[in-house]
């Protein structure tokens, strides 16, 4: 089996894997970081969104081997020193979740949006969430949370 | 997924060599179509040749008045590239309309063109702008590249290096998208170029195609009104749960008009 090496949340990891291993399965089953979810497994729902070399990507539609040598960030890497990332804090504050299944993907996707667009309007946030499906909230509070987090992150 | 061997070569020659030794080997670009297809066991390559390690395939540059887009350039890069936005806004707009942000961060122009899905967007721009597909073996004009349903002029062992887009006087893309997948039910790319007007339609038929009647009408009068009565035959158009062939034929005129309006 080939060996894959990548940096996940700042730590270098290396494993022998079957080339068929999806990045999301590598993260969950090999690294036991189960915050990244498998929802549809067909790149529609966005529950598996992680960052690969700084941009949001769907980990169910990527092989672990494709992330060889890459910097990967998952939801577990966002909080620093026990303090929630402003995006996580805003989702909590504005009730941007109900069952919570889509939330890790939503948060990772939203962080990518705010990194490239520090002050997104409501329309831009809704457009950006095209690849993230939530079946509980109706999106309203998610949009609100992202706009508040953006303000917080602008400082 | 069925089993396969994985390779990440660092040069075009190395990639071509692996391809030439195994008929069942497949190229892996962004993987946004190939991996879902493999997961459904509709494709079973013996070897995957990941092109992401070949630096020369990535990026956008300007050369001799043309915009050159490397085969492994993600849609998001094309959509946000300042040169593309300034010189060919229709192309930047099209790239920004593909799929969702995560698909655009990973999916590539080379993968899209080699696959030639009838509902994909990029073939519209490549044919509509009269671009040239440059491979490891030759240069293929857009008019000769797209042959039919999922079929291109690429030979066995041939791989796309980059696409050269001539800069048009103006261009625009208008898409009636499937609200779930974001694929084009019908997409119209119109361009006014030095050599005349080009109109390319994707999504409607088995393969992207041009509409000469619209091109002639727009050559003498660049306005949405000039093509409002030009209908295309629905004979070989796609019918599925999203739209009938007749409805797609209707949309061809509607979307072409909108594209002309958007181009200004």
**B156: helix, strand or coil:** coil
- In chain B, how long is the greatest CA-to-CA distance? 57
* pLDDT tens, residue by residue, B45-101: 999 999 999 999 999 999 999 999 999 999 999 999 999 999 999 999 999 999 999
Residue A67 shares a structural domain with residue A106: no
Question: Which of A42, A55, A61 lies closest to B31 in CB terms?
Answer: A61
Residue A71 shares a structural domain with residue A90: no
Residue A94 shares a structural domain with residue A143: yes
Q: Are B226 and B217 in contact (CB under 8 A)?
A: yes
Q: In whole angstroms, give the CA distance from residue B96 to residue B1.
A: 30
Q: Which residues contact B22 (CB under 8 A, 6 or more apart)?
A: B46, B47
Residue A64 shares a structural domain with residue A127: no
Instruction: List, in order of start, the domains of chain B with CATH numbers.
Output: 1-54 (3.30.43.10), 170-263 (3.30.390.50)
Q: Which B residues, 179 through 238, put their C-beta within 8 Å of a C-beta on chain A?
A: 180-182
What the block records as the tokens of A18 is 């079957």
Residue A109 shares a structural domain with residue A54: no
Q: Does A36 touch chain B (CB under 8 A)?
A: no
Residues of A in contact with B99 (CB under 8 A): 131
Q: Containing domain of residue A115, as a range?
A: 86-154
Question: Which of B48, B105, B180 lies closest to A55 in CB terms?
Answer: B105
What the block records as the tokens of A141 is 């509070």
Residue A92 shares a structural domain with residue A46: no
The domain that holds A125 is classified in CATH as: 1.10.150.120
Residues of A in contact with B36 (CB under 8 A): 42-43, 61
Q: In whole angstroms, give the CA distance from residue B99 to residue B32.
A: 10
> Among candidates B251, B214, B246, which has minimal Cα distance to B233?
B246
Residue A68 shares a structural domain with residue A91: no
Residue A102 shares a structural domain with residue A141: yes
In a 13 Å sphere around the CA of A114, the CA atoms on its Cβ side amount to 21
The pairs formed by A92-97 with CB atoms below 8 angstroms and a separation of 24 or more are: A93/A145, A93/A148, A94/A141, A94/A144, A94/A145, A94/A148, A95/A141, A95/A145, A96/A137, A96/A141, A96/A142, A96/A144, A96/A145, A96/A146, A97/A134, A97/A136, A97/A137, A97/A142
Residue A48 shares a structural domain with residue A96: no
How far does chain A reach from its first CA to its final CA, in angstroms? 47
* A-chain residue closest to B29, CA distance: A66
Residues of A in contact with B32 (CB under 8 A): 43, 61
What the block records as the tokens of B169 is 């006087």
Residue A8 shares a structural domain with residue A71: yes
Residue that finishes a domain, picked among A45, A77, A109: A77
Contact B31 A128 (CB under 8 A): no
Residue that finishes a domain, picked among A59, A77, A95: A77
Reported ipTM: 0.96
Tally of domains in chain A: 2
DSSP code of residue A112: H
Residue A70 shares a structural domain with residue A117: no
* B-chain residue closest to A109, CA distance: B102
Residues of A in contact with B103 (CB under 8 A): 43, 58, 131
Residue that finishes a domain, picked among A77, A112, A139: A77
Residue A12 shares a structural domain with residue A64: yes
pLDDT (tens, 9 = 90+) of chain B, 264 residues, equals 999 999 999 999 999 999 999 999 999 999 999 999 999 999 999 999 999 999 999 999 999 999 999 999 999 999 999 999 999 999 999 999 999 999 999 999 999 999 999 999 999 999 999 999 999 999 999 999 999 999 999 999 999 999 999 999 999 999 999 988 889 999 999 999 999 999 999 999 999 999 999 999 999 999 999 999 999 999 999 999 999 999 999 999 999 999 999 999
* A-chain residue closest to B97, CA distance: A127
């Amino acid at each position: 089996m080939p060996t894959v090496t990548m940096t996940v949340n700042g730590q270098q990891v290396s494993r022998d894997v079957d080339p068929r291993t999806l990045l999301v399965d590598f993260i969950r089953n090999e690294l036991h970081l189960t915050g990244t979810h498998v929802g549809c497994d067909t790149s529609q729902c966005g529950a598996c969104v992680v960052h690969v070399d700084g941009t949001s990507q769907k980990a169910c539609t990527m092989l672990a081997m494709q992330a060889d040598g890459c910097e990967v960030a998952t939801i577990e890497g966002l909080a620093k020193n026990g303090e929630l990332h402003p995006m996580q804090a805003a989702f909590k504050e504005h009730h941007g979740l109900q069952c919570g299944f889509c939330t890790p993907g939503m948060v990772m996707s939203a962080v990518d949006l705010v990194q490239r667009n520090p002050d997104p309007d409501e329309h831009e946030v809704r457009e950006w969430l095209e690849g993230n499906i939530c079946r509980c909230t109706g999106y309203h509070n998610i949009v609100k949370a992202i706009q508040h987090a953006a303000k917080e992150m602008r400082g | 997924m069925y089993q396969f061997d994985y390779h990440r070569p660092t040069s075009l020659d190395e990639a071509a060599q692996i391809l030439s030794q195994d008929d069942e080997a497949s190229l892996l670009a962004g993987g946004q179509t190939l991996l879902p297809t493999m997961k459904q066991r509709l494709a079973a390559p013996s070897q995957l040749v990941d092109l992401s390690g070949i630096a020369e395939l990535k990026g956008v540059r300007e050369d001799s008045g043309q915009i050159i887009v490397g085969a492994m350039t993600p849609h998001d890069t094309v959509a946000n590239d300042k040169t593309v936005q300034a010189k060919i806004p229709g192309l930047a707009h099209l790239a920004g309309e593909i799929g969702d942000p995560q698909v655009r961060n990973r999916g590539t122009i080379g993968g899209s063109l080699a696959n030639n899905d009838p509902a994909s967007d990029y073939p519209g721009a490549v044919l509509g702008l009269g671009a040239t597909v440059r491979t490891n073996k030759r240069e293929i004009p857009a008019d000769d590249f797209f042959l039919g349903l999922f079929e291109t002029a690429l030979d066995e062992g041939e791989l796309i290096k980059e696409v050269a887009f001539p800069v048009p006087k103006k261009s625009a893309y208008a898409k009636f998208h499937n609200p779930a997948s974001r694929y084009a039910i019908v997409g119209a790319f119109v361009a006014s170029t030095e050599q005349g007007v080009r109109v390319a339609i994707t999504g409607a038929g088995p393969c992207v195609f041009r509409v000469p009647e619209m091109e002639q009408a727009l050559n003498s009068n660049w306005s949405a009104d000039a093509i409002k009565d030009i209908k295309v035959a629905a004979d070989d158009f796609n019918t599925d749960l999203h739209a009938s062939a007749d409805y797609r034929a209707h949309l061809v005129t509607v979307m072409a008009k909108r594209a002309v309006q958007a181009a200004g």
